[in-house]
Amino acid sequence: MKSILSLPLLTALFSLGAMTDSAVASCLVHTGDPAAWNSDDPPQHFDFEHNATGDWFGLRNTLSEHGIEINGSYVIEPAGNPTGGLDQGFTYLHNVDVSLMLHLDRLVGVPNSTFLFTVSQRSGRGLTQDYIGNAISVQQIFGGGQTLRLVQMRMEHHFFEDRFTLAYGRLTATSDFLTSPFYCQFVNNGICGQPPAPFFNMPDGITAYPAATWGALVDFKTTKETYIKAAVYDGDPNNGDDRHGANFGFGSNGVLLLGEIGWKPEQGLFSMPGRYSFGGYYHTGHFPDVSRDAFNGNIFLSGLPAREHAGQEGFYFIFEQMLHRNPDRPKTGLNAFVTFVASPNDDKSVMPYYLDGGLIYEGLFRSRPADKTALGFYSAWFGSSLRNAQRTAGLSSQTNETNIEFNHQVQIKPWMYVRPNIQYVIRPNAIPATRNALVLGVEAGITF
């Protein structure tokens, strides 16, 4: 029996778990958000209130005063599907993230400069891969080799009172673009840490946590509330065998160009904070057709290699908006986000359209002001060229996969949280014949 998945689609499917740059870090420590690091920031203070391991008998704070900061996090994601999918089962995953931040002004006298070094270690099996069979993982920390891996080696400089930023080194593309601080309030990989459509449409052409590649970025704050940024990354980040992220060679499939403009007003819609961003990407490399082989035959019938297309492009919108403030804590309340991603040429785009969105309420219960309650969804549309070729070959055609997630984060300590979650996957792998899956899981994490 022929598979309904072409080789490029299989490649994208099994690499999807790697798409979580800042998925762990943004929930616990700020290693996943390079913009949060500024060499002008005062030394970080470590104590048992905010870190599980405290200040290491004063050593950690002494190092911080001299420009050396060490952070870490540990996250687990056990989950099971009591109904639906291909079979029922239970899996366990964990991710360890450790970062070393060097503030070069305090350390060696280089002003307004930092160097970030991050490593990750992952273990466990994915519920999506073993039991459900859906396209987008229900656990965001699956992928990236499930092994010890070097993530980023990022040099960053700030100029003109922090209005202009230059970053270069081993960078993760979706740490800088197509990301939101709200995404990783969710557990499924369709929201945390970024919309996955570009990874289907550019197999091995874009990076996300825990992967990185050579790149350079400029970020310019045009006004207090507006910005524009652009970057170039190696377009072939795997570059052969890069299981541990230590292959420092350059790839052979072009470069990835990314750009974004945005407006982040303090008084946006409803006179509340918001962010409204538009971005786009262009990859100069070559990518396979989703349905036709090199001789213009049906790839699902012939089994021959796909014909290649030169270049791949797409664009996205990100909308974030506060909707309600807590009277006693005006910086908290109800926030909403919506993201739309498109790569419309469905001859070379497995997933030409993608939409996600969510609501997050911090402090819904007055007795638990630091807890967060979240409801979100994603919906992924597979392309008509892919569907038609599958149908012609007598296979089930892929239409649309949707996941709805509800979770509540219990903030036990500033350095510890537990996030029970319920997910409902509709049409796993976008195949109507596959049973909808109910997922029950827990995410829990600590900051070292």
Instruction: Give average pLDDT by consecutive 10-residue segment, the chain, 448 residues.
Output: 39 38 38 48 87 95 96 98 98 97 95 97 95 97 86 96 96 96 97 95 93 96 97 86 81 95 96 97 97 96 95 98 94 97 97 98 94 98 97 96 98 97 98 96 97
C-alpha–C-alpha distance, residues 86 and 103, integer Å: 50
C-alpha–C-alpha distance, residues 74 and 446, integer Å: 5
Q: What's the pLDDT score for residue 241? A: 62
Picking from 161, 177, 167, the residue whose alpha carbon sits closest to that of residue 224 is 161
Q: What's the pLDDT score for residue 328? A: 87
Architecture field, domain 7-40+70-447: Beta Barrel (2.40)
Q: What is the pLDDT of residues 196-205, one digit of tens each?
A: 999 999 998 9
DSSP type of residue 397: P
Q: What's the pLDDT score for residue 378? A: 98
Q: What is the pLDDT of residues 68-102, one digit of tens each?
A: 999 999 999 999 999 999 999 999 999 999 999 99
Q: What's the pLDDT score for residue 25? A: 39
Picking from 281, 116, 334, the residue whose alpha carbon sits closest to that of residue 209 is 116
Whats the size of the chain, residue-wise?
A: 448
